[in-house]
Amino acid sequence: MSLPAKAAPIAIDAADLAEELARHAPDLQLDLVGAAALPADLPHGARFTRWLEDDRHGGLDYLARDPDARLDPTRANPWARTLLVFGQRYTDGWPEGDADPSATGRPEPDAPWTARVARYARGRDYHDVLLGAMKTLLGRLAGRWPGLVAYPATDTGPYLEREWAWLAGLGFLGRNTCLIHEALGSGLFLGAAPTNLVVAGLPAPGVPATEPLYHVRGRVRHAPAEAVTSRCGSCTACLDACPTGALDLARGLDAARCLSTWTIEWRGRAPDDRRGDQGGVLFGCDICQAVCPWNRRAAARAAGDDAPPPVPDAYADDPARGELSLADLIALDADGFRARFRRTPLWRAHPEGLRRNALVVAANTGRGDLVEGIAAAAASDDADTAAVARWALARLGRDEAP
Ligand code: B12
Ligand code: SF4
Ligand code: SF4
């Protein structure tokens, strides 16, 4: 096959690439950038295939659509020679004693609804922020290496981003399945870009790097002498803490049991007898990260820093959300949803999903004061909303609408 001229390989040196990254990554608030040679056999690729075979993808059918392409970025991009992998913090870990329901699952009836939203989703959408930073960085690299071709994506690209991030030296893979950096924790978004760079000095394809090419200053990391897959040791805190038993040592995460799937991805509803497990969690779930000692250490380290490198303001809590209450979310219509949540991660839940989640939280936190709004939702045209509202009324001991 002849390569398109625009994707002709460009030979460069890892040290030169690292130098360019150090020049440009800081002002774009990218914390980690690494590279992995392509094509490569993924050391844990079989975990992914087995995950699909075992039907642990929880109805997220897009993941099963073209598994070979997910395992090998060169199937869709035959010209690609190196995958650049990016990490950007959205939080500095989770401190010991974090009481947000998103981090504990506990009902905490008086907590604001925003504390029930996973940390990654409290500000702007990373698909805009991180992707924008990646594109800018790649544009600057193209200034140095004209002819650079790169297709950046975060989340939506058909790449096993965590596995590639591990291969590119960004951290290790935890039993909670997250990519964990020893000093930054796992509160990191990941992104990847197949490129036509041929980088001399990288480990052989499929061999993990011990360090990324760029690492944010100000966070000391004791890199292992040789790359390890996992640094969990004998810890099982995440498996023990998961309220739905979604994590399995050997088989990974069962998406059908994960609160993150229920509250973000599913359009319908979790089974009646399981909704209690959602506790005080409204959108996303951080429990298996909040209990992780690596995140607690990351938070302690950040708190002790005089000048911590900044997490992008874009990911900070959006103050405008504080004006809304759980009751408002239960009453939210499509226009209100659009006005409030466009270009934020909550957009993914659709108005019906956010309403459903709010109804479940109201029931699980014993909010008898909200029965009027819940009864109104029980009369909704949307069958799932109505069914969940009826379930909520029953759980609150109100079988009859007031
Ligand atoms: C589908 C999906 C989900 C699903 C399924 C999650 C899952 N664990 O598979 C659901 C909806 C449940 C989900 C939840 C969340 N997600 Co999500 N999700 C994805 C997505 C789109 C694909 C993941 C996938 O392919 N899963 C299939 C499994 C088999 O692959 P995998 O988990 O990547 O694991 C591979 C390797 O890491 C290795 N492996 C996995 N676990 C372990 C454990 C050990 C010990 C070892 C040795 C190896 C190993 O084997 C696999 C094969 O290569 C990715 C983006 C992407 N394109 O990769 C984001 C992504 C993984 N999600 C992300 C985030 C932030 C979350 C949440 C924290 C959001 C929240 N607060 O609610 C939770 C975390 C839940 C959890 N513990 O995983 C980030 C993770 C960043 C990080 N530091 O790890 C990603 C990378 C998005 C991004 N671009 O930043 N997510
Ligand atoms: S995100 Fe929550 S529900 Fe999902 S595996 Fe982690 S602790 Fe369990
Ligand atoms: S909580 Fe423990 S077992 Fe789970 S990812 Fe963190 S270190 Fe590993």
The mean pLDDT of 161-189, rounded to a whole number, is 97
Tokens of 258: 């994960």
Q: What pLDDT does residue 387 have? A: 95
Q: What pLDDT does residue 400 have? A: 57
Q: How far is the CA of 238 from the centre of ligand 3 (A)?
A: 6
Residue 155 known to be catalytic: yes
- Read off the pLDDT of residues 214-258 as tens digits, 9 standing for 90 and up: 999 877 777 777 888 999 999 999 999 999 999 999 999 999 999
- Read off the pLDDT of residues 56-110 as tens digits, 9 standing for 90 and up: 999 999 999 999 999 999 999 999 999 999 999 999 999 999 999 999 999 999 9
Minimum-distance ligand to the CA of 70? Answer: 1
**Closest Cα partner for 312 from 170, 160, 151, 187?**
187
Q: How far is the CA of 266 from the centre of ligand 3 (A)?
A: 26
Q: What pLDDT does residue 54 have? A: 95
Alpha-carbon distances, residue 253 vs 54, 159, 256 (angstroms): 11, 18, 9
Say which of 13, 98, 155, 313 is annotated catalytic: 155
Is the predicted pLDDT of residue 156 greater than 50, yes or no?
Answer: yes
Could you give the percent of the chain with pLDDT greater than 90?
86
For ligand 3, atom 2, which residue shows the shortest CA distance? 235
The angle that helices 350-364 and 383-395 make with each other, rounded to 10 degrees, is: 10
The mean pLDDT of 383-390, rounded to a whole number, is 94
For ligand 2, atom 4, which residue shows the shortest CA distance? 258
- Beta carbons of 373 and 389 less than 8 angstroms apart: no
pLDDT bracket for residue 1 (50, 70, 90): very low
Q: What pLDDT does residue 306 have? A: 67
Is the predicted pLDDT of residue 297 greater than 90, yes or no?
Answer: yes
What's the mean pLDDT when you consider all of the chain?
A: 93
Is the predicted pLDDT of residue 359 greater than 90, yes or no?
Answer: yes
Q: How far is the CA of 182 from the centre of ligand 2 (A)?
A: 21
- Read off the pLDDT of residues 373-384 as tens digits, 9 standing for 90 and up: 999 999 999 999
Q: What pLDDT does residue 20 have? A: 98
Name the one residue in this structure whose structure tokens are 């993808």: 57
For ligand 1, atom 69, which residue shows the shortest CA distance? 284
Burial 317-344 (b: 16+ CB within 10 A, else e): ebeebeebebbebbbbeeeebeebbeeb
For ligand 2, atom 1, which residue shows the shortest CA distance? 285
User: Considering the entire predicted model, what is its pTM?
Assistant: 0.97
Is the predicted pLDDT of residue 401 greater than 70, yes or no?
Answer: no
Q: What pLDDT does residue 320 have? A: 79
- For 180-247, the DSSP string reads EBTTTBT-EEEEEEEESEEEETSPPTT---SS-SEE-TT------SS--S---TT--HHHHH-TT--E
For ligand 2, atom 2, which residue shows the shortest CA distance? 285
Q: Is the distance from the beta carbon of residue 176 to the nearest atom of ligand 3 less than 6 Å?
A: yes
Q: How far is the CA of 180 from the centre of ligand 3 (A)?
A: 9
Which of 100, 242, 282 most suits a substitution to test ligand 2, by most atoms within 8 Å of the C-beta?
242
Pocket of ligand 1 (CB under 6 A): 42, 44-45, 47-48, 51, 60, 63, 118, 120, 154-155, 157, 159-163, 173, 175-179, 186, 188-191, 229-230, 252-253, 255, 258, 260-261, 264-265, 284-286, 288
Q: Is the distance from the beta carbon of residue 387 to the nearest atom of ligand 3 less than 6 Å?
A: no
H or E element in which residue 13 lies? strand 10-13
- Read off the pLDDT of residues 341-356 as tens digits, 9 standing for 90 and up: 999 999 999 999 999 9
Q: What pLDDT does residue 153 have? A: 96
Alpha helices in 54-160 (DSSP H): 62-65, 67-71, 101-104, 126-144
pLDDT bracket for residue 131 (50, 70, 90): very high
Edge-first strand listing for the sheet containing 188-195? 188-195, 82-89, 32-37, 214-215
The mean pLDDT of 156-183, rounded to a whole number, is 96
Is the predicted pLDDT of residue 4 greater than 70, yes or no?
Answer: no
Cis status of the peptide bond prior to 205, with omega within 30 of 0? no
